[in-house]
A and B are shown apart, each in its own frame.
Chain A
Amino acid sequence: MVDLVAAQVENAWWYVTAAYVIILGGMAVFVTALGIRIRRARRALDQLP
């Protein structure tokens, strides 16, 4: 019943696109944030006497 309702979704691709962008974008943002944190930690280490 639920499945039959889903088959009638007209704008399914909008939902698919949103899910893919959020998941892949989220992963990319996390990796980028890690890169920034690594750079900051390296800089903090260099600045210590």
Chain B
Amino acid sequence: MKFLRTRWLEVTALLVVGAAVVRGVTVAADVTQGDVQRIMYVHVPAAWLAFLAFGVTVVGSVAWLRSGKPHWDRLAASSAEIGVVFTGLAIVAGMIWARPVWGQFWTWEPRLVTTALLFFIYLGYLALRRAVIDPVERARRSAIMGIVAFIQIPIVYQSVNWWRSLHQTSSRNSIDAPLRVTLWLAVLAFTFAYAVMLRRRLELSLLEAALELRQLEGSQAVAGAAVVAPSLEKAGHHG
């Protein structure tokens, strides 16, 4: 019972993901694309989760710039990392679908190119976080980048409408009800999976922040109080 109380989110996520997978492989096949269309039930939710994750990064970035509270910075960073993972997975699943449908894994068409750009922009965001040692400056710079980078999301989303694209437009309203229900179930399942990942990643961020603070205190004990490194935890509002 204690396990269920503490791990209810993980258990729920596992059950919903399991149900979505079973539904995804057993629902009627698409009339025109056949069974290969089932890849949509993992490809679309992965892409949706990437958008959601980067949206949460924007919220965390804006909130940190306004309040300077360290947990917003941790939320932005944690969500961005998960977003990068989901973007990568969405690209790979899309490539597997493209091979039988388009005849090749990759083609330089707008949706694929803008999504690849999105992936590398947020990889850059994660690299920026590793490159800046000062935690206050790191939070400030990455908050700005987290907000600016989000511009890429509507570009990716609209790329199939703005340019002549090989990639199909949104399937949300053009597919039959059983397929649509399966797609929404998969989106729900992936959202639960995101919640599990975010909780774990935030737990890690908290530990990393504590570690950084303890190391700072340790170095002060050796070098004296005159040597003070900036601390996000101690800084409060950065002004």
A-side residues, CB < 8 A to B, are 2-9, 11-13, 15-16, 18-20, 22-24, 26-27, 30-31, 34-35, 37-38, 41-42, 44-45, 48-49
Contacts and interface: CB of A to CB of B under 8 A. Distances in A.
A23 B46 CA distance: 8
A15 B35 CA distance: 9
Contacts of A4: 32
B52 to A, nearest CB: 14
Contacts of A22: 89, 92-93, 96
B42 interface: yes
A15 B207 contact: no
18 contacts: A7-B32, A9-B35, A9-B36, A11-B100, A12-B34, A12-B100, A16-B36, A19-B39, A22-B92, A22-B93, A23-B93, A26-B85, A26-B88, A31-B196, A31-B197, A35-B200, A38-B203, A45-B211
A18 B96 contact: yes
A3 B33 contact: yes
A38 B200 contact: yes
Nearest to B46: A23
Contacts of B123: none
A30 B48 CA distance: 18
Contacts of A41: 204, 207-208, 211
A16 B193 contact: no
Contacts of A23: 42-43, 46, 89, 92-93
Contact of B25 (A16, A37, A45): A16
Contact of A31 (B32, B38, B93, B200): B200
